[in-house]
Amino acid sequence: MAKTGLLEVHDLSVGYGGEPVCAPVSVSVHAGTALGVIGPNGAGKSTVLQTVVGLLPALGGTVQLDGRDVDEREAGFRRAVATVLDDDAFFPSLTGAEHLLLTARGHGVADAERVVAEEIEEFGLTERAHALPSALSSGQRRRLALAAAFVRPARLLVLDEPERRLDAQMRRRLAARIAEDVADGLTVVFASHDPEFLSTVARRVLVVDDEACSVVSPKVAVAALSEG
């Protein structure tokens, strides 16, 4: 009998107003692996990710995490899944460090201050940790949002174009960091346009398309991305 993945997506149809934006998706993601998601702009990558984490209702098909239907209203699901999607929203009167501390404490992380301080350093925000979001650059805000996914425990990490608004060095560091976490047992699903990021992190790649969605090797995906 085949081993069941941590995340099982079966015939998932995603879209808005009852209209699918891409072909149905079926994929199984095992614990401790990373699945990349690629496709042209507007193909529906973000819609697939948002539906997988329960932020958008599915038009059809199923998504299961650990054998249970995904329901983001359940605390257990929120404990297990960390997401960094396209949000660029912050409380205007909370500093960057306070946003991370809220996340860490909200998840009951032991020694939250230390964990937050480490991630602030890891994401190169030490100088700006106590600045309000309005005083942060776009790239710094993106790093802050990404850091929030790492100050809390998670079994599944879902990222939408994590390389966006990061410089080359930070992209490489983040890719290496995620690859390390995957080796330690974290499961990652991420959409990306960056061939280097994809080849560093992904074990398999889901190609989202109008006609048919398929799973390919990172090598094939990187070649497809390079061809544009």
Residues 181-200 close enough to bind other proteins by CB under 8 A: 181, 184-186
Residues 133-162 close enough to bind other proteins by CB under 8 A: 145, 148-155, 157
Q: Contact between 87 and other proteins (CB under 8 A)?
A: yes
Alpha-carbon span 161 to 189, nearest angstrom = 10
Dump the DSSP string for 9-36.
Answer: EEEEE-EETTEESS--EEEEE-TT-EEE
Number of residues that bind other proteins (CB under 8 A): 50
Considering only 40, 42, 60, 106, the residue that binds other proteins (CB under 8 A) is 106
| Nearer to other proteins among residue 128 and residue 222 (C-beta) | 128
How near is the Cβ of 207 to other proteins at its closest, in Å?
Answer: 25
| Nearer to other proteins among residue 50 and residue 192 (C-beta) | 50
| Nearer to other proteins among residue 115 and residue 222 (C-beta) | 115
- State the residue for tokens 């100050």: 151
Binding segment for other proteins among 1-9, 98-106, 161-169, 201-209 (CB under 8 A)? 98-106
How near is the Cβ of 225 to other proteins at its closest, in Å?
Answer: 26
Residues 49-78 close enough to bind other proteins by CB under 8 A: 50, 54-57, 72-73, 75-76, 78
Q: Cα-flanking dihedrals φ and ψ of residue 74, to 5°?
A: -85, 130
Residues 10-49 close enough to bind other proteins by CB under 8 A: 17
Query: H or E segment at 114?
Result: helix 112-122
Dump the DSSP string for 24-83.
Answer: -EEEEE-TT-EEEEE-STTSSHHHHHHHHTTSS--SEEEEEETTEE--TTSHHHHHHEEE
Alpha-carbon span 184 to 165, nearest angstrom = 27
- State the residue for tokens 């070649």: 223
Alpha-carbon span 48 to 58, nearest angstrom = 9
Q: Is 156 helix (H, G, I), strand (E, B) or coil?
A: strand
| Nearer to other proteins among residue 90 and residue 197 (C-beta) | 90
Binding segment for other proteins among 62-70, 91-99, 195-203, 205-213 (CB under 8 A)? 91-99
Interacting residue ranges for other proteins, rule: CB under 8 A: 17, 50, 54-57, 72-73, 75-76, 78-79, 82-83, 87, 89-95, 98-99, 101-103, 105-110, 115, 132, 145, 148-155, 157, 180-181, 184-186
